[in-house]
Amino acid sequence: MDEFMQEAIDQAKKSLSEGGIPIGSALIKNGKLVASGHNKRVQENNPILHGEMDCLNNAGRVGSFRDTVIYSTLMPCYMCAGTIVQFKIPKVIVGESRTFPGTRAFMEEHGVEVIDLDLPECIDMMKQFITDKPELWNEDIGEL
């Protein structure tokens, strides 16, 4: 397992242990971890604090994002993908997109390289969460 994807998975598990949605993210610059984060919508009652957004918020001002890679346990939604495109993050590595197909085409149309690892651990974690808490999941993806 790639150490940076493992960090994202650890963040997802942290969110789940806090009663939140199990999505984690990590930002890498020049081969080093800059920041990580996890979905905190439930924990902080904040509708836009998805895993990628928390990670980027934790990174703070890093100057240019053009030499970064962002990892996420799940394919980003339009809000997170829009931020990735806006900051010109060139590469996104995701754990899975089976439970949520997200915005791969949107990001690729804007020059972002997207790699989907299709990891069973990420798939299983999201499937279990969606089964256990469908209302919370549907709220997260705007399907209520």
Active site residues: 52
Which residues does residue 82 pair with via DSSP β-bridges, in sequence order? Answer: none
Do residues 92 and 113 make contact, with C-beta atoms less than 8 angstroms apart?
yes
- How do beta strands 68-72 and 91-94 pair? parallel
Q: What whole-number distance in Å separates Cα of residue 28 and Cα of residue 42?
A: 26
Burial of 58 (0-12, 13-18, 19+ CB in 10 A): middle
Q: Which residues neighbour 54 within 8 Å (Cβ) at sequence distance 6 or greater? A: 25, 37, 38, 39, 40
Q: What whole-number distance in Å separates Cα of residue 130 and Cα of residue 94?
A: 18
